Amino acid sequence: MTTVLLVEDHASVSYTLGVALRAEGMRVEPAPLESLDGLLAFAAELRPDVVLLDLDLGGAIGDGSGLVVDLCAVAGQVVMLTGAMDFHRIAACLESGASDFVLKSEPYSTILAAVQEAAAGGTRLRPAQRERLLSELVRHRRDEAERLGALQLLTAREREVLAAMMAGNLAEGIAAASGLSEATIRSQIRGVLTKLGVGSQLAAVAVARRAGWTPD
C-alpha cells in the first residue's frame, strides 16, 4: 500500500485530498504542523512513499520549499502542491529534489495522477519541462544578483530616496519632506530605477527588501 504524507495547512483541502487518495487504496497521513521539528520527526518515522507538500504553509512552518531537502531524505518522492504559479519557487524545489509539482486549481484527478506516478518512482514532468524551469531559475538568479549589486551604485541622495520609497512615500511627499522640487525627486527616482534595472517604484522596493538593504 502506498503511504502518502500530506503536508497541507488548509483543513478543507487536506480533508478532500485525503478522501480522494484513500479512495484509491492509499494510506494518507496528515502531517503535524505545530512545529518544524515535529513535522520532520513524524516524516522520519513514517518514511512515506510520497510527500504531497504545500508550497505555502502557514503558522510555524511557513515556506514549504525549505522542507524539500529534509523530506527527500526520508521519503520516496516529494511532489509540490501550490496555489500560486510562482515558477521560480517551484523550480527551486525541483532543484532541491522534488520530483514534480501540481497546482491546487487542477482537477483532483490530476493531483491523483501525480501522486500515483511518484509512488511508482516516476514523474509526469518531462525532462524538457524540468530543464526549462531550471534554466529560467538560473537566469532569474543572475538577474537578481545584478540588481542587488546595483544597490551599491546608488548615490547618497538616491539611497535616501529609495529609503523613503520603502517607507511608502510617493514623489510628492518625498519632495515636501526634503525641500527639493518634485521634478528633482522624480529624476532621482528614475535614477534609482535605471540602476536597479526595474520599471517601477514597487519593483525597486522589492529588490531592496529581498537584499535586506538599508540606507546605511
Tens digits of residue pLDDT in 93-130: 999 999 999 998 888 889 999 999 999 999 998 999 99
In a domain, 33, yes or no: yes
Any domain includes 143? no
19 & 92 share domain:
yes
Domain that holds residue 181: 150-210
Percent of the chain that is helix, strand, coil (3-state, to 5): 60, 10, 30
Instruction: List the CATH number of the domain containing 187.
Output: 1.10.10.10
Nearest CA among 86, 98, 96 for reference residue 123: 98
Which pLDDT score, from 0 to 100, does residue 145 have? 76
Question: Is 43 inside a domain boundary?
Answer: yes
Residues of the chain with pLDDT under 70: none
The answer to the question of residue 162 being in a domain is: yes
Q: Which element (helix H / strand E) includes 30?
A: strand 27-30
Domain presence at residue 168: yes
Do 64 and 26 lie in one domain? The reply is yes
What is the total count of domains within the chain? 2
Say what the pLDDT of residue 186 is.
Answer: 92
SS3 206: helix
Q: If DSSP codes are grouped into helix, strand and coil, which group holds residue 80? A: strand
* Residue 49: predicted pLDDT: 96
pLDDT value of position 108: 86
Q: How many residues does the chain have?
A: 216
Instruction: Mark whether 19 and 97 lie in a shared domain.
Output: yes
In a domain, 138, yes or no: no
Cβ 147 vs Cβ 197: under 8 Å: yes
User: Which residue from 188, 74, 198 is spatially nearest to 143, judged by alpha carbons?
Assistant: 198
Which residues neighbour 112 within 8 Å (Cβ) at sequence distance 6 or greater?
Answer: 20, 21, 24
Whether residues 10 and 97 fall in one domain: yes
pLDDT at 59: 74
161 within a domain of the structure (yes/no): yes
Residues 87 and 179 in one domain: no
Q: Report the pLDDT value the prediction gives residue 165, as an integer from 0 to 100.
A: 93
H helix or E strand, kind and range, residue 31: none
pLDDT score of 135: 93
Q: What is the pTM of this model?
A: 0.71
- Give the alpha-carbon dihedral of 132, 137, 143, 149, to 10 degrees: -160
**37-64 burial string, b = 16+ CB within 10 Å, else e?**
eebbebbeebebbbbbbbbbbeeebeeb
Check: CB of residue 80 under 8 Å from CB of residue 100: yes
CA distances from 113 to 35, 75, 118, 168 (A): 30, 18, 8, 46
Same structural domain, 155 and 112: no
Place of cell 525627486: 185
Question: Is 142 a domain residue?
Answer: no
